[in-house]
Structure 1
């Protein structure tokens, strides 16, 4: 039996069950796409791309399409804790609608403080109703860290003055799955940077339930929607690494897929921002790029309709998808050199551990050696 046969059978059963349920939103996805000028062809291309992004064979592309169409059976509660709303912005800020944004809109969004029209008591009633009506069925997405000092008093939300700790514990209790959207919700983020007076923590440190961590400041919209799609398709969490991040999104180092990787191997480095090397697209390691130590799909998925990402735009990766990056990755414009390798799991990443172990010890030496070799060759040519 093909290793994907059981997964396909699970997917079919799951989607048939969802299709048999009454939709929570009456507008069909097809109608929404037509209203926004998105063709069926574009939708199917998106389905194939999403299947590939999720590390599924192309035979799952029709299943992705079907899952998107029945997404309006899934209630979603999205909480804002100690954060800047940048993760929501990553998903919804688009000059033209994309299939990703349409899928997010198609899901029955029961509560989202930034997007919903309700406020005050009405907003509280909406949340309470959703928690009761869809108990055990809803997806819970959390954006932002949870301050825990003084029993959570550093974050109070809503007209009833509930603390973030109270809200997350109540909402997590009845959730079918929990997704920490962004590094703040996943690992505490900048709110948890030393000395962390509010004792801000990631969601998984506050509740005792499985959590999917979407590291990134912010994560790409593809990682957010892809995780939602995986749950809709299979009714379970995707395979995770040791930090509870989906392997399909965080299974490779930024360094491995960077468009400047060839420059690194050739020993061509930007020495200072604005120099000729920077203009020629040289590697940004010497000006602080943390790509060799960071796991994310930024180089392949990019941001803003797949337009760009920080390294392509001219600044090094700051390692924002890694735990405690604000402290462990600083200074953001100086190389780390040698460091302990911790952001790895077993299986395929074990190979990367060996490679990265050598890289972490020798990356600075590589930069020096290649520059020395180039200078020697230049001197020989001049002689």
Structure 2
């Protein structure tokens, strides 16, 4: 049996197990979608697109659809630690709810501070009840870094003065799987920027269990929902890269799929924000774009209902899905090549100044850049 066939059978078995559990909502997902004007055809198109996004063959779209319809059988606890709530906003702030947003709402969301009506002791009781009732079965999503300095005193939560360190350890102990949503919970984020007085860390640094990291400030709702769907379908973690990020979402550089890539190859660069090149959509590398050093699917998935993303809007990628981006990628409007890939930005500086012509030299710049990038990426993934 090949790999995909074995995975398909595993998914079928997992969904049969979920189907045996009692539903948590009185309305079916189909009824919920219809109430928002989303047809069955739209839902199946979303299922096929999600399967493709997860790098699964088309037949898996049936599993995606079944998993979405059974999503209310999977308890989800979502903790907010040291963060700005931007990751929750990325998923929930849709002007028009789409399938991904509605499915997230359909999941058995047991605790989420941004969404729940409860407060104070009632909220604490809800969290304790969820952790006890679904011990070993719930999916734990965490947003925000964990301050560890002074025994975690910089993040003290709730009526019992629980530190973030104690809370995440207790919640992780009973979790079936753990997802770090955003760069703060994945790698510490802005909170961990030098000199990091609170000792902020990614949650994997304080836990002894596997963690799926969804880098991004914020990550797209597609990456959040896709990861949830993968777990619902198969009950296990997807294939991960060296930073424990799902390969289906973080397997390619931003640079590789950027709509401005052709201008990079042609040696056409924005020299100063607002110049002729900026108006023509030229490559933003020389004004600081970190696309060549950043792994994410922003160019293909985009934000705000797939409308746009920072590079399309006119500013370079700042590398926010990478570890320590705030320190290692700054400052964000200067080329970084001399620090990581020597030669790439220097070559870009000379594009157009050689007798061979802009196009030929542009291709040369890309070839040289790719050579250095290949060396760097090879070291990165070994």
**TM-score, normalisation: structure 1:** 0.92
**What SS does structure 1 have at the residue aligned with 2:110?**
strand
Could you say which residue in structure 1 is the equivalent of 2:366?
Answer: none
In the alignment, which residue of structure 2 is the partner of 1:254? 254
1:377 Cα offset (Å): 7.5
1:132 paired residue number: 132
Name 2:50's counterpart in structure 1.
50
CA RMSD of aligned residues (A): 1.3
- Partner of 2:375 in structure 1? none
Please give the residue correspondences for 1:60-71 in structure 2 after superposition, counting only pairs within 5 Å.
Answer: 60-71=60-71
Distance 2:337 2:158 in 1: 45
CA–CA distance in 2 between the matches of 1:281 and 1:375?
A: 24
Per the TM alignment, residue 3 of structure 1 is displaced from its structure 2 partner at its CA by 2.2
**Deviation per CA, 1:253-312, whole angstroms, max 9, x where unpaired?**
000000000101111000010001000000000100000000000000000000000000
Distance in 2 (alpha carbons) for counterparts of 1:316 and 1:130? 42
- State the shift of 1:363 in Å: 1.2
Q: Deviations over 1:14-64 (max 9, x none)?
A: 001101111122221011001111110100000000000000000100100
CA distance in structure 2 between the aligned counterparts of 1:128 and 1:26, rounded to whole angstroms: 24
Query: Contact 2:252–2:295 at 8 Å: present in 1 too?
Result: yes
- Structure 1 unaligned segments of length 5 or more: list them: 341-359, 379-383
Q: In the alignment, what sits opposite 1:114?
A: 114
How far apart in 2 are the matches of 1:305 and 1:373? Answer: 43
Unmatched 5+ residue regions in structure 2? 360-382
Contact 1:90 1:218 in 2 (8 A): yes
- What is the number of equivalent residue pairs in this alignment? 359
- For 2:343, the equivalent position in structure 1 comes to 362
The correspondence of residues 258-297 of structure 1 with structure 2, limited to 5 A, is 258-297=258-297
CA distance change for structure 1 residues 34 and 376 in 2, over 3 Å: closer, same or farther?
Answer: closer
Mapping for residues 1-383 of structure 1, pairs under 5 Å? 1-340=1-340, 360-373=341-354
Q: How does the TM-score come out when normalised to structure 2?
A: 0.92
Deviations 1:121-161 (CA, angstroms, capped at 9, x unpaired): 00000000000000000000000000000110000111221
Q: Which runs of 4+ in 1 moved over 3 A?
A: 374-378
**Alignment partners' CA distance in 1, 2:338 and 2:139:** 40
Tell me what 2:362 maps to. Answer: none
Question: 1:40, 1:128 → 2: CA distance?
Answer: 37
Moved more, 258-267 or 364-373: 364-373
